[in-house]
Amino acid sequence: MATLTQSYVHGASARPLIGSTIGVHFDSIAARWPEREALVVRHQGVRWTYAELQREVDAFAAGLLALELEPGDRVGIWSPNNSEWVVTQFATAKAGLVLVNINPAYRLAEVEYALNKVGCRALITAARFKTSHYVEMLRNLAPELDAAAPGELRAARLPDLRAIVLIGDGCEPGMYRFADVPSLATDTHRDRLAVLAAQLQFDDPVNIQFTSGTTGFPKGATLTHHNILNNGFFVGEAMNLTESDRLCIPVPLYHCFGMVLGNLACVTHGSAMIYPDEAFEPRKVLETVEAERCTALHGVPTMFIAELDHPDFRRFDLRTLRTGIMAGAPCPIEVMRRVVTEMHMDQVTIAYGMTETSPVSFQSSVDDPLERRVSSVGRVQPHIEVKIVDADGRIVPPGVRGELLTRGYSVMRGYWGDPELTAESVDDAGWMHTGDLATIDAEGYCNIVGRSKDMVIRGGENVYPREIEEFLYRHPKVQDVQVVGVPDLKYGEELCAWIRLRDGQSALVDEIREFCRGQIAHYKIPRYVKFVDEFPMTVTGKIQKFVIREKMVEELQLQVVQTA
């Protein structure tokens, strides 16, 4: 690569973009490798070849059409990792539906907002996950379920929702069972799938993922077949994936990490998707890698740390591993070195991106020198442009810090129903303004050095303080609140809330946390709460969040972890 004279890179590539929909491409892979193992879900005892997975997908896709869903309709999925999630991902794509990923940690207020924001007509849900009782929450939101026939829901608080499909063996009034949906289809519905395969376009929306919003509410990033299919393919290319690889996927499917960097990277290369459990558990991951002879492993840094530090770590044979992705949060340099040496992942890659860009823009390659892989997020992905600009929008020289902007096939169609917010993020020239501060060196390697947007990354989860602030304002005793991220050795960052109470009021820290429980996801509940009389401000009245952060680091004696 030529030495750069300015911080602009583009991923020139002789490898063309895939010009088909997810469904058509999936069928081509199943035809090419029908007897290769496609999906292993250990906690469910599922082990399917590509031909078997294709049959499951086609049957469920026809069943979705039998629910009177039309191309373009939104279908939510609220569930931890399981085979039904994978089937739903590809079945909705084949039926021309838009899959809406709902975080398994969401509670009442969040799931109500998500379903109504994008007008979900159907919801596929688990019965429960950990302490979240999904069915109970849905009955709270839609008590009309008790008297409704399956598929005929009319709920005052969920006006667009008509059908709820329950994963598992249970039966609930007003809901279909997942296993029964394929039997609803007739030959007419099955024939229509073939017609849709020819009609659907790769620029059609296929997925909506919610990202925390600076406005205080999640935004629905709308992604197309072209967006995520190609990103999955080129991510897999960077890992040198082949039909012989077996990828262990302990990251959540509701996030791009699972469904794109995991499922679509595998499916575009004929590799096997291996799920160790419904959620991350370090011992299950180690057991799965050994038992399934996995060659690749994904995770955020906290997952790799938990695996390396497990008391039985050295009992497991991980020598089949070679590659994988560490992403979702800054990677501690020493952790990266241990992953390479102790987990035998000498070809592990680092990836950087955001949901709105499908998600990966930069990724290290398997043959990048280790020093490059532990000190950067690699080079730009094929067919993607990136520039680093100053406050005036001018491209800066190599090595100079500025905001990272990206353009190309990976940029989302927009935020669902929010043209103004979309225009704030994607400019007239098609550049996505990421809000991340970065540098690009003369050889094209990128470093992420900060965030201009007020975002916190806790254990791989993106959280915008504004959303937490808006929620805490609902507390009757809260006058004002400011939320910041503070360093944490386990999660990378934790949330800290500074709260000004109304005159004459007093409150306890546990009272604030209890107000949050059951209403917002557990990872959004501030770990630290401090009651204050005032906030640090500039002379113009702007609150200085960096001062709040610095004061808490000093007061709590927090250690800042060294990262790549």
Supply the DSSP symbol for 50: H
Angle between helices 83-94 and 50-66 (to 10 degrees): 60
pLDDT for 540: 46
Instruction: State the Cα torsion 170-72-151-102 to the nearest 10°.
Output: 40
pLDDT band at 391 (very low <50, low <70, confident <90, very high): confident
pLDDT (0 to 100) of residue 214: 41
Contact in structure between 387 and 405 (CB atoms under 8 Å): yes
Query: Is the preceding omega at residue 359 within 30 degrees of 0, hence cis?
Result: yes
In angstroms and rounded to an integer, the radius of gyration of the C-alpha atoms of the chain is 23
DSSP E strands: which ranges in 455-534? Answer: 456-458, 461-463, 478-488, 492-501, 528-531
| Averaged pLDDT for residues 2-19 | 95
Q: Is the pLDDT at 117 greater than 60, yes or no?
A: yes
Q: How confident is the model at residue 464 (pLDDT cuts 50, 70, 90)?
A: confident
Q: Report the pLDDT value the prediction gives residue 563, as an integer from 0 to 100.
A: 53
**Mean pLDDT, rounded, for 35-58:** 98
Supply angle C-alpha 454, 457, 459, rounded to 5.
165
Distance separating alpha carbons of residues 548 and 216, to the nearest angstrom: 20
pLDDT value of residue 546: 83
**CA separation for the pair 128, 139 (Å, rounded):** 13
402-408/432-440 β-pairing: antiparallel
**How would you class 1 by CB atoms within 10 Å of its CB: exposed for 0-12, middle for 13-18, buried for 19 or more?**
exposed
374 vs 353, higher pLDDT: 353
pLDDT(491) > 80: yes
What number of other Cβ atoms are within 10 A of residue 255's Cβ? 21
The confidence score (pLDDT) of residue 272 equals 99
Query: What CA–CA distance (Å, rounded) separates 480 from 497?
Result: 10
Which pLDDT score, from 0 to 100, does residue 218 have? 87
Share of the chain above pLDDT 70, in %: 96
Query: Which stretches of 300-346 are assigned E, i.e. beta strand?
Result: 323-326
Q: Give which of 527, 533, 535 is closest to 551, Cα–Cα.
A: 535
Query: Regarding the domain delimited by 22-28+48-219, which CATH topology (the fold level of the hierarchy) does it fall under?
Result: Rossmann fold (3.40.50)
* DSSP H helices in 309-409: 333-342, 370-375
What pLDDT is attached to residue 539? Answer: 54
Longest dimension (CA), the chain: 71
- CATH code matching the domain that covers 458-556, chosen among 3.30.70.920, 2.70.98.10, 3.30.300.30, 3.40.50.720: 3.30.300.30
Which is more confidently placed, 470 or 219? 219
| Identical fold between 22-28+48-219 and 458-556 | no
Domain map (residue ranges) of the chain: 22-28+48-219, 458-556
pLDDT mean over 122-140: 97
Report the pLDDT value the prediction gives residue 480, as an integer from 0 to 100. Answer: 84
Contact by Cβ (8 Å): 318, 341: no
CA–CA dist 338, 215 (Å, integer)? 40
What residues contact residue 267 under an 8 Å CB cut-off, 6+ apart?
25, 26, 29, 38, 90, 232, 273
- Greater confidence, 503 or 181? 181
Non-local CB neighbours of 448 within 8 Å, separated by 6+ positions: 330, 352, 377, 404, 436, 437, 438
Q: 3-class secondary structure for 444-471?
A: CCEEEEEECCCCEEECCEEECHHHHHHH
pLDDT digits (tens, 9 = 90+) for 506-563: 999 999 999 999 999 999 999 999 999 998 975 545 678 888 999 999 999 987 655 5
**Other Cβ atoms closer than 10 A to 514:** 11
Predicted confidence (pLDDT) at residue 451 exceeds the cutoff of 70? no
pLDDT on residue 465: 83
Check residue 538 and give its pLDDT: 55
Which of the two residues, 137 and 460, has the higher pLDDT score? 137
Contact predicate 71/64, CB 8 Å: no
Q: Give CA–CA dist 219/399, Å, rounded.
A: 32
Q: Taking 50 as the threshold, does the pLDDT of residue 246 lie above it?
A: yes
**pLDDT, mean over the chain:** 94
Partners of 98 in beta bridges = 74
Give me the pLDDT at residue 215, please.
46
pLDDT confidence bin for 40, thresholds 50/70/90: very high
